[in-house]
A and B are shown apart, each in its own frame.
Chain A
């Protein structure tokens, strides 16, 4: 319940305040969002599996975001930022799909 409320409140706040993303953060924000989404899906799946742990969720959430941003940052420094961010998005997308598949099995038994 908390995550859903948090998400809804965050979306509303974001729409309400509509801040401009700082230029330095612009390459990282989408990646961070995707990474966080991955963590949320993982947490949801764990919860459906009945093994949800708040600590693990928090840590994986934060570390996901940080690592994803770090990878992209490193990629930018190395001059392969576009490719690395693509790679990160691909990997995270695949993981989200995997988690979504597990969630689907739980919800629909199929």
Chain B
């Protein structure tokens, strides 16, 4: 390599020598500026970056170095050209030229190698142990942070899931309750096993109390919902009127009175037929009663839902 450079090095020292002759004296202003300007940034960098020991060690070399090296760049070189003769310099230094060539060659080589090495992905191969420890610490801390985040997110997810399923279950339960209450209250059509009881009142002998007895007896035997002549019976149903012109909830019913009841057919028929019970009573008053059990009866008369005027739900506990 150096052999290659030497022949090329020949002409160059002449140029350089010629320029070295040109200006022996240079204004110091530039270098002073540089030195003055640089001392402060050095202090800054030390103050910001390095641990306590570093400033002391780094600071002194910094300023000293600046002075001496600037001296070498200016002062010493001022001395050197002064010492050398213009004529001597022209022919002087194939050796120096060769050295310069070799050094710059080395620099370029090292530069390229270092750039390559730094570009490699094994950038930690050349790192110091303390740097590696620091990097490892940082990575560990980062990992812990990320794990915390994962745990948080998981907890949030679980919470959302469970609250979702909880609210779904609550909604389902509320719907079921609403249906049950709707059936009991008469706001929803219902169907199921039950019976149909027909009371034929030829002589207008059936009184309000007989109808009420029949309703109570049916409820007592487990009737869940019923209608009388197409009028749904609910909790506030009233039976009024006089024999022959009975009214349920203010709507007239006429003989034959047809009860459509949902409940256990067996139980209800048994309850109606007990001695001294509803059927016997009605028969004694001159009415005739027919009871038909059925696997499937439909109670589809509806009651309007009364909005309570005075009562409101007690939310306080």
Contacts and interface: CB of A to CB of B under 8 A. Distances in A.
Interface of A: 1-15, 18-21, 23, 26-27, 29-30, 32-33, 36-38, 40, 42, 45-47, 49-62, 64, 71, 75-76, 79-84, 86-88, 90-91, 94-95, 97-99, 101-102, 105
Nearest to B40: A94
Given A3-B100, A102-B30, A47 B16 contact: yes
Chain B's interface: helix, strand, loop or mixed, by majority?
helix
Interface of B: 1, 4-5, 8-9, 11-13, 15-16, 19-24, 26, 30-31, 33-35, 37-38, 41-42, 45-46, 49-51, 53-54, 57-58, 61-62, 65-66, 69-70, 72-74, 76-78, 80-81, 84, 93, 96-97, 99-114, 116-118, 125-126, 128, 130-131
Given A47-B16, A52-B20, A94-B38, A14 B108 contact: yes
A62 to B, nearest CB: 7
A75 B26 CA distance: 37
13 contacts: A6-B5, A13-B112, A26-B126, A29-B114, A30-B114, A50-B26, A51-B80, A58-B99, A87-B45, A87-B58, A101-B33, A101-B34, A105-B30
Chain A's interface: helix, strand, loop or mixed, by majority?
helix
A35 B237 CA distance: 105
B131 A82 contact: yes
A6 B77 CA distance: 23
Given A45-B73, A91-B58, A51 B110 contact: no
A53 B80 contact: yes
Contacts, number: 246
Contact of B26 (A49, A83, A94): A49
Contacts of A83: 49-51, 53-54, 57-58
Contacts of B33: 98, 101
B130 A13 contact: no
Contact of B34 (A57, A62, A98): A98
Contacts of A105: 30
Contact of B125 (A3, A23, A81): A23
A7 B81 contact: no
Contact of A60 (B31, B50, B72): B72
A105 B29 CA distance: 12
A11 B73 contact: no
A10 B106 contact: yes
- Most A C-beta atoms less than 10 A away, residue of B23, B24, B72, B116: B72
Contacts of A40: 104, 107
B15 to A, nearest CB: 7
A56 B16 CA distance: 13
Contacts of B97: 2, 54
A105 B20 CA distance: 18
Nearest to B41: A94
A90 to B, nearest CB: 5
B100 A91 contact: no
A95 B108 contact: no
B18 to A, nearest CB: 9
- Most A C-beta atoms less than 10 A away, residue of B61, B102, B118, B125: B61
